[in-house]
Each structure stands twice: as C-alpha cells, then as structure tokens.
Amino acid sequence: MKTLKLRIRDKHASQLNILAGSVNFVWNYVNELSFKHLKRTGKFFSAYDLATYTKGSGEYLNLHSQTLQAVTETHAKARKQFKKAKLNWRTNNPKAKRRSLGWIPFKKTAIKHISTRQSGRKSLKSTLQFSLAKGKKLTIDLWDSYNLSLYSINTCELVQDNSGHWYACVTVKEFPKTACGTGQVGVDLGCKESAVTSNGNVLTTKLTHKYAERLAIAQRAKHKKRVKAIHAKIKNTRLDLIHKFTSKLVKANNLIVIGKIKSTSFTSTKLAKSVYDAGWFEIKRQLDYKCKNAGCHYIEVNEAYTTQTCSCCGSRQDSPRGRAGLGVRGAT
C-alpha cells in the first residue's frame, strides 16, 4: 500500500471548504455524543455504535454515507490511540484561534478515476469523481505527477495545508515496478553539497540562505502568509531536487552504497542548520523505497574511521590525524 499526494487545482477550494465544514460538523457531533455516553455509562462508543447516530444525515450535509462512516471510524481510532475521553473540536472558521485544516475522507466505492491527459510537454492532469449525497457528484482536477491511470485506487482523503491549498492523498494497492540500471555507485553526504556520488554527480539543496533575505523582510513586516509561502517554496524545491537526484541514481545503478549518518548527531552543534537544510534523512528515505521497488541493492555503511583506514590493506596504524593528515588518505 502506498499513498500518492497530488495537488488539487485552486478553483475547487470554495466547494471543498464547504464540504470540510460539513465533515467538521459530523466530527464535533460524534465527539460530544461519545463524551456524554462515557460520562453516563462509563463506556466508550465504538465506530459501529456511532454510525447508527449519523445514519441518514448525509442528505442534509451533502456527504456520502461512507464518508460519514470514515469520520466515525477515524474518531474512534484517534480517541483510542491518544487515550482521551474527548478529542479537540474541529472548525474551519478563519477567525477561530485554533482553526482545523480541511479534511474530507472517501472510501473506494465513492471514488472514480475519470481520465488522465497530457498537459504541456511533460506534465499530466487527472480528473477524479467523488460521490456525495442523493446521487450528487464532486469532480475535481489535479496535477498528476504519478499517472493515476497506472494504479488501482483504494481510498482518498482530500486535505488542506496551512496555506489554503488542497491535496488529494490517494492510497493505491498496486505500485508499478521500475527497472534499475547495471552500475554501482557510492554516495557521500555532506553539508556544502548535500550528496556527492563516486561518479561525480552532485546534489545541492542548500536553499535557506538563498531565500534568507526575503524571509527576513516578511518576518519583520509580520506578513504571515508570505512567510508561509517562502517556507513552502524552500521545502518543495528541496523535495523536487532530491526526487530527481534519487530517481536518476536508481535508474542507472544496481548497487547504491551510502554513509550511515544521522542528522540528530549534529542538532547541538553549529552545523545543525546546514545539516537540516541538506536533507540527509529525505535522501536516504527516498533511496530506500525506490530501491525496494526497482529491485536495486541499497546498503548503508558505517562511516567511522573511513578517512583513517587504508583503502588497500585496511590498516589504521599510520592513519592520518586531523585536517593536515587527510592528504595521505589511501596510501599503502
């Protein structure tokens, strides 16, 4: 099972905000109902019990019956997971102190993939149709970077980020297999360059300093929306660069070896900001799942004493010490 996150076109935002308000209404209702039942009887309502109280309400809220079931199931699961008698109240009112981001769940029978078409030279656009109450339909267009026509859709959740943009998180059962190459490559993680391969390819994701001046101006002006937009630009650009880099490695190589190094080891040092900007964890995470899918061998090796060990005999007797000694690396 895999989840694909696709951006929904902004023209659907107003309609999705209305549906998200209906979902929040159902959530708040079952939340209060479950809490009152607990105080009265000392027992929790199950998702099955809650479904009987929401039956038929979809006609008034313009929600599919299985969307109501998904809300009650998620509520019961979250209450049990966090061990709380009552969960947080949900509201999408922009003036509220604690505004909840939009969320609309759909199950398999309420989802239909209409089409996937070419948009430009490389990009694709797909159309999904969701069932609502009384035979009504919700049709949305989204930018498709995965080609949904290759997948079998299981469930879908429409979610909103803090910038107001909507995304479709689609869970799929079948994940198309890709073929790996025949080469072998080693990857060295660093701060100046996020990753350098043994064949000379370089990945640079240090973007924070590039947008630092714009970010500082927006922060001093207390322009919250602009600050969020800049942070989103940094995050999305970094992810795009890492995706292109890791996909290229997997397609060209059968064996990928990378240093086993953790970002948390540098959280208390002066390099913390540079390390987080380099995205080491994301590089290794993407290589891991992409190699599994393509049948490529992915190995993480311990980097301890690698600069002090002879590349021929493995001895560290005459190993270099400090920066001045690094010039004799690999000497026998």
Report the DSSP pairing between strands 183-189 and 195-197.
antiparallel
How far apart are the C-alpha atoms of 32 and 100, rounded to whole Å?
A: 17
φ and ψ of 210, to 5 deg: -65, -35
Q: How far apart are CA 133 and CA 120, in angstroms?
A: 35
Which of 198, 26, 6, 14 lies closest to 94 in space, CA to CA? Answer: 14
CB 79 within 8 A of CB 34: yes
Q: How many other C-beta atoms are found inside a 10 Å radius of the C-beta of residue 139? A: 12
pLDDT at 326: 57
C-alpha to C-alpha distance for 76 and 66, rounded to whole angstroms: 15
Predicted local confidence at residue 331, as pLDDT? 47
> What's the pLDDT at 3?
87
H and E: helices and strands count for the chain: 8, 12
Is the distance from CB of 194 to CB of 203 less than 8 angstroms? yes
How far is 99 from 88, CA to CA, in rounded Å?
A: 11
Q: Rounded CA gap, 73 and 45, in Å?
A: 11
Burial 177-202 (b: 16+ CB within 10 A, else e): eeebbeeebbbebbeeebbbbeeeee
**pTM for the whole thing?**
0.75
Q: What count of residues does the chain have?
A: 332
> CA 273 to CA 206: how far, in whole Å?
10
User: Which of left, alpha, beta for 64 (phi over 0: left; psi -120 to 50: alpha)?
Assistant: beta
CB 133 within 8 A of CB 61: yes
- Choose among 22, 92, 27: nearest CA to 64: 22
- Identify the pLDDT of residue 221: 92
The reported pLDDT for the residue numbered 23 is: 94
Contacts 24+ apart (CB under 8 A), 325-332: none
Task: Give the pLDDT of residue 174.
Answer: 64
One digit per residue, the tens of pLDDT, for the chain of length 332 reads 788 899 999 999 999 999 999 999 999 999 999 999 988 988 888 888 888 898 888 889 999 999 999 999 999 999 888 888 889 999 988 788 888 999 999 999 999 999 988 877 778 899 999 999 888 999 999 998 888 888 888 999 999 988 888 999 999 876 666 677 788 888 888 888 888 888 888 888 777 788 888 989 999 999 988 998 888 888 888 888 899 999 899 988 889 988 887 777 777 777 777 878 788 888 899 999 888 888 888 888 887 766 667 767 766 666 666 555 656 554 44
